[in-house]
A = this chain, B = another copy of it.
Amino acid sequence: MKEQLRIAIIGLGNRGRTMLKHEMVHMAKEDLTIVGLCDVYEERNQMSLEIMKKFDLPDPELITTDYKEILKMDLDAILIFTSWENHVNIACEAMEAGIYCAVEVAGAYSIEDCWRLVRTYERTKTPLMMLENCCYGKRELMVLEMVRKGLFGDVVYCSGGYCHDLRKEIVHGEENRHYRLRNYLSRNCENYPTHELLPIGRVLNINFGNRFLSLTSTASCAKGLARYCTDNLPEEHKMKHAEFKQGDIVTTVLKCANGETVAITLDTSLPRAYSRGFTVRGTKGAYFEDNDSIFLDDVHHKDYEFNGRPLWGNAAEYEKEYEHPLWKNYDGYGTHDGTDHLVLRAFFESVKAGLEPPIDVYDTATYMAVTALSEQSISEGSTPQAFPDFTSGRWLQRKMPPNKYNL
């Protein structure tokens, strides 16, 4: 058991600095020492240094624009918050260097990249964790508890979405150097599946007795960003008349080995309120995020079969009995409703104890693969794509090694 971790952060754009400023500087008063900072843009390194200074933390040993220098350091762990395109390369190099590695969520650009993560892990045995914070969401975890306690019977279907109006972030991507812009200009796929799909995968025991078998993916036309640009940007702005390849809504339907199906929706360039649309449907009950309601056959059928409206918001009534242990005595402090804090603690506690992380390389490869398969399906007119089995059959018997942050 390590008491103190020497860590470095690679990628200090908006996401990396948010994690530094709201989470890791606090943890650096306890069990972290931030010894390396790295971004390709030097000013981001300096902004991050300022954050640490404000918090009276000692200066890092190394601040560099070259992540390869970071990987030469004596580190207990690194965290990767770079643009999507660089996650896999850096993660593989970190594993080769024997450094316990966290990667921010992203989708894969190819199935080969997912295999590369798996094979590198299998050769090096260096653990890797995807930092999927939404798995640690209060409702996601409560519903997972209810599923595991059998309240919903057999779950046969789940749905969810990444429903987040990102138009402003995307169209100002040049000023902000945001990787989303180039992806939205040139690609068309389910580019961000993990926020809703990893919690669903836990409900369905994906990689632990179940697996994704195949998917289809269908993209709508792309009009939201173009309309946003013409309505909101000044005439001289480079994006004023931009054309985007990324469809506004991408619907992906997955089939599981045990017969369940999952529908997920990418929904990031049209006006709406944020939601992950988390929905779980079983033979005895259901949860619906979009009106935050629980429907239990034995409890609600008689009175609410034809009018569920009185049930809107009733999920809160189940918190007392079914709140997940990780959320008991936790008030969700930190960013993103407390999920950032929990996912980082899950990572650091796993590193300290030398445990496999709660979201391992097989999970990471599986959930990232959805993006590449979706891109293929869309390019082939929604043709079904077979899902690779990254566990090579071990999903049939795999169990999670003990970890209190397991999902």
Contact = CB atoms under 8 A, between A and B. Distances in A.
A116 interface: no
Contacts of A224: 156, 283
A283 B260 CA distance: 33
Contacts of A308: 272-275
Contact of A273 (B214, B281, B304): B304
A297 to B, nearest CB: 4
Contacts of A275: 308
A259 interface: yes
A273 B307 contact: yes
Contacts of A62: none
Q: Interface size bucket, A side?
A: 35 or more
B274 A306 contact: yes
Q: Is the interface of A mostly helix, strand, loop or mixed?
A: mixed
Interface in A180-219: 214, 216, 218-219
B261 A219 contact: yes
Copies per assembly: 2
A224 B382 CA distance: 28
Interface in A239-293: 247-249, 251, 253, 255, 258-261, 263, 265, 267, 270-275, 281-286, 288, 290-292
A270 B261 contact: no
A311 interface: yes
A305 interface: yes
A150 B224 CA distance: 15
B286 A271 contact: yes
A383 interface: yes
A286 B274 contact: no
A261 B249 contact: yes
Contact of A271 (B248, B255, B271, B284): B284
A251 B271 contact: no
A165 interface: yes
17 contacts: A153-B227, A156-B248, A218-B253, A221-B259, A223-B259, A251-B253, A253-B382, A270-B282, A271-B297, A272-B295, A273-B305, A273-B308, A273-B311, A274-B306, A288-B290, A312-B312, A381-B384
Interface of A: 153-154, 156-157, 165, 214, 216, 218-221, 223-224, 227-228, 247-249, 251, 253, 255, 258-261, 263, 265, 267, 270-275, 281-286, 288, 290-292, 295-297, 300-301, 304-309, 311-312, 381-384
